[in-house]
Amino acid sequence: MPEISQTDQQVSDGANLIISMLVRYPEIGTINFNPEANSLKLTFMISGIPAAGDFESTKQLIINSIAAYHMLEGITNISVAIELSSYEQVAMVTIIRDVQTLTRGEINLTIKILRERFSERLVADHNDAMLEEDLLFQEEVIEDMLENMRKEYNDHHNLIGIREDGRVFVFNK
């Protein structure tokens, strides 16, 4: 029977976190984990390019909402960066968050804001087969994996998770 090392467990926690987030949140297109910065980069896709003013107001709303959420939770020293890029007629909103202060509630809040601001234009890969129990299980896994990664993640595996045709793939970069 092969031995599982601490490094294998850390890679497993990172991969499980990415898989659970992509399964639970169909609005997230890709997730990159950067172990050196201990951060997650969440990318959302929007059909069409939003006006600069719309993007800036949404960006500010997300940043202010995250700050207010964490203030209420008593969490300080958060790191948030939001960027917009585009390719042809698709805009990509990228949110970079530190794993130490990222919470499931914050992810839910951010997605709710993006849904309200971009409604039908927010690209989502909905899986109607997911039952409520499955969604709740994924939320518990996300919370557990975030907690595990907060404790200590010293491994240097860059992970990327993508969604394609209803499937989730995680790669070690």
Beta-sheet pairing, 167-172 with 90-98: unpaired
Residue 136 has pLDDT above 70, yes or no: yes
Whole-model pTM: value is: 0.86
Asked if 11 contacts 157 with a C-beta cutoff of 8 angstroms, the reply is yes
Residues 138-159: tens digit of each pLDDT = 888 888 888 888 776 555 678 9
Asked if 117 contacts 109 with a C-beta cutoff of 8 angstroms, the reply is no
Residues 63-73: tens digit of each pLDDT = 999 999 999 98
| Residue 131 pLDDT | 66
